[in-house]
Amino acid sequence: MKNNKSKLAKIFRPAINLNLPGLRKAATRQVDGRSENGGFTLIETLVAVTILSAAIAGPMVLSIKSIGSAAVSQDQLVAFYLGQEAVEYVRNVRDTNILSENSWLDGLGDCLPSSPNGCYIDVINNAITACGTLTGCPKLDFNEANYAYKPDGEDGNTVFIRTVKIDNLIRADGDEAKIDVAVSWTGKYGQKTMNLQNNIFNWYDYE
């Protein structure tokens, strides 16, 4: 019986001899491989996280810059139209004066060189006021529909300040004037100013 058990044990015993150089080396690599594989997995994870972070951060930075550029463009567009509005208002006053046979710059005295700080024009309320010597022109107020001014020269709820100056001394005959409109504001990237200029003429000969 004992002989039979010995024979069966020899038959089913795995034929592995760890004393062989090749098998011992393979076993060592296998054991060491678990440690080495764990180390490489950590490094690969860190690299993957770094690449993923860079992939996410790039578009986010571009998006933030795009939003900032859009805000700046919006402010510039508003400033341009505010400046153009003032120029068109002065031109309309000039035309109305000439058609009414009044002095062609009548009503614009607060914007002429006699008021060195310029004036602010409330197009909605049809009012022209000289800017203060110390305070300057007030900020425009936006009522969800139009840009105007608060009473008593108080600052409005916008960031835009519009200053209008009219120089009627550029010609000896006084029949030409230069309109200079400066719209300034403090935006995302600091203080900005947009300047618009336009020359108008007295196209009616009173004499």
DSSP codes, 84-144? HHHHHHHHHHHHHHHHTTS-TTTT-GGGSTTSTT-EEEETTTTEEEEPBTTTBSPBPEE-S
For the chain, the maximum distance between any two Cα atoms, rounded to a whole number of angstroms, is 147
Residues 146-163 pLDDT 10s: 999 998 889 999 999 999
Q: Return d(Cα 117, Cα 137) in angstroms, integer.
A: 8
Burial profile 139-171: b = 16 or more Cβ within 10 angstroms, e = fewer: bbbeeeeebebeeeeeebeebbbbbbbbebeee
The rounded Cα 36 to chain-centroid distance in angstroms is 51
Residue 9 maps to a domain? no
Asked if residue 188 belongs to a domain, the reply is yes
* Section 20-37 average pLDDT: 46
Give yes or no for residue 15 having a pLDDT over 60: no
Task: Determine the structural domain holding residue 167 and report its residue range.
Answer: 56-201
Q: Is residue 49 part of a domain?
A: no
Domain total for the chain?
Answer: 1
Q: Is residue 140 part of a domain?
A: yes
Instruction: List, for residues 35-57, the tens digit of each pLDDT value.
Output: 444 456 888 888 878 887 777 76
The pTM assigned to this predicted structure is 0.69
Condensed to tens digits (0 to 9), the pLDDT of residues 131-146 reads 999 889 999 999 999 9
